[in-house]
Structure 1
Amino acid sequence: MFNEETENSMSQLLNEYDVKKLTRGEILKGTVLDVSDKEASVNINYAFDGLISKEELSADGKDPRDVVSIGDEIDVYVISPNDGEGYVELSLIRALEIKEKEDIKDAFNNQNNIIVKIKEEIKGGLIAYYGNVRVFIPGSLASRQRIELSTLLGKDLEIRITELDLRNNKVVGSRRAIEEEEYNKNKKAIWANLKEGEKTKGVVKKLVKFGAFVDIGGVEGLIHISDLSWERVNKPEDVVKEGDMVEVFIGSVDRDKERLSLILKDVAKEPWTVHSSDLKEGDIVEGKVVRLTSFGAFVELFEGIEGLVHLSEITDDNIVKSSDVLELNQKVKVKVLSINKEDKKIALSIKDATESSKEYLNYIDNDEEDGTSLGDLLKGFKFE
């Protein structure tokens, strides 16, 4: 009877516990039985319970009660099958480290992203941790944009592992790889939806001698200097500055070469449209000299509308170049010789305007000498 009871007890013990021999380095499943400020005891479904010291619960010396709670199911690493006091010596840190390294290896092989905690800024980059695994993020890979690395300290950051050598504890991550991928996805969608003539908003990113580059939400386009304003522009910075928010029209779109032209000047205020009825051949108007060339001078009649005074139409005197008799910004009277609205070209004459003025003055002088005034000549005419 006694032998039968003993045999049943042993059988029950064998069923309840895994009595196989434990070896150092094994990873077991366990349930937390008790926690104090110094350690935690764990049921590992073995003849003896396991014990995790404070040092093996967390790397930063946290109170064990802040790390685990009674009833928690955790993975543990076997440090020693017998600590000499009837317990199995276990480690939570080492179990997590093995699992974390497996996670990192899997993320690297499958190009998946992981979340790390940024802990420190060092020369050349940032130090982050995935659990207890140290990850280095070079400064050039911290973002697609230029940023202050210190702004990332203490933050959780999604990164992609770009280099991995666990044997030598070399783990390199990149945030930029993720941002570049997202940028390229957004860029494709933006290029697909661009329509010529549409109005959109953007930010001036860079000024160059020939214009300004503007980001319209993931795609950069160029505003050529001639499309910054209807007026003549000498330097892009006379109109816009880096960082300015601007409203632009979409000009030409080349999706194959990913080239985009933008227009800042308002197409509805195109000078030739606004002033089309204000100029007629034969009119004498005042303008401003805006450009001097070897073959003549360009005179601005309205903002954005210029005409050419050929060298032969400046004066009857023999001159070699326009600057012999004209200066920039000089106000001059000109006669409209011809208008080509299709090509937006106007031919002007200064000498004809001057001669007309002289003829008018001579006419008045002669009238006065004859005792006949201009008023006398106009008597009898009705004006409506």
Structure 2
Amino acid sequence: MSTDELRRAPKVLLHDHLDGGLRPQTVLDLAAAVGYDDLPATDAESLGTWFRESADSGSLPRYLETFDHTLAVMQTREGLFRVASECAQDLAADGVVYAESRYAPEQHLTRGLTLEGVVEAVNAGLRDGEARAAAAGHPIRVTALLTAMRHAAKSTEIAELAIRYRDDGVSGFDIAGAEAGYPPTRHLDAFEYLRRENFHFTIHAGEAFGLPSIWEAIQWCGADRLGHGVRIVDDITIDGSPYADWVEGHKHDADALTALELDRVRLGRLAAYVRDKRIPLEMCPSSNLQTSAAPSIALHPITLLRRLRFRVTLNTDNRLMSGTTMSREAELLRDEAGWSLDDLRWVTINAMKSAFIPFDERLALIDDVIKPGYAALSGGAAGEGVSGGVVSPA
């Protein structure tokens, strides 16, 4: 599985923040256009380095400051349009064939835009980016997820906004922000409304906060997917020890998870429920290292959960802050966790099955794009996961 093959492999991205994926040069250009003078660097290379180092710093205030700068330049229609268009183009150039880009409309209102104006600017930018990517020979489809902030009181308003644009580029809803102290149950009215409207939603859960966050997202709120969900391993034991304790004892063994005999693993009730119900986990390895939700790529829970056949998916979270791409995430898992092309194909099909678009459209991308793409790379059959037009469990 060469680096070039990783880039050419069809990929599906479900968890990517629009305000976390800007090109450094775009941040500079848009800052100049709107008169924003507080950037920490004046050239693209230095600015990109600052974003990555800030996210790696271990300082939450410094990490959050990175978004202050990106949001500051995303307050006009022109800025939102450009960022959205470039998002689609950059993902397509990296081999992504389907993506869901999430953002919080309420965070883009300081220069006079309305909520509707924000959504329409982003939708127009994504369509422009799709067209430019197709013209460059890299077709992609990108839909939007509208995010409400956990600490705010706009979740029902944003949910209603998502429904208004459900047939015009918006495929789902999300809540994000600090988990501790802001449980998803604060937003039950929004989730109940979305369920009545037969609309899809995901919830950031199980990243900074543990099992209660996951349980509430699933059992109280009815989430279709879990944003991150990495802390589901808190409900898994190995040789009778909590997962975290076992990992601490093996933190110097890069092959510990790949060599682990699975009959030594036991799932708790919640972990078993998540696996049994095939609830998708939107996992973001590099980002999880930056937020200390995982100790290393080699010991990131995604490898164990993949071996246990949870519905894991691979994602970027914030490409600018993590200095990453989908190909880079796959490369890290290849080099540090022993992943193969089959592993990447498996999580890609998982992600496409879990996307917030109609079933027949998901199936078409799996059968017509993803399976043939991996078959071409492997030099063999298209592989398992979908057979005879019927999606099998994965």
TM-score normalised by structure 1 residue count = 0.18
Higher radius of gyration, 1 or 2? 1
TM-score normalised by structure 2 residue count = 0.17
**Highest RCO, 1 vs 2 (Cα 8 Å, sep ≥ 6):** 2
Q: Which has the higher helix share?
A: 2
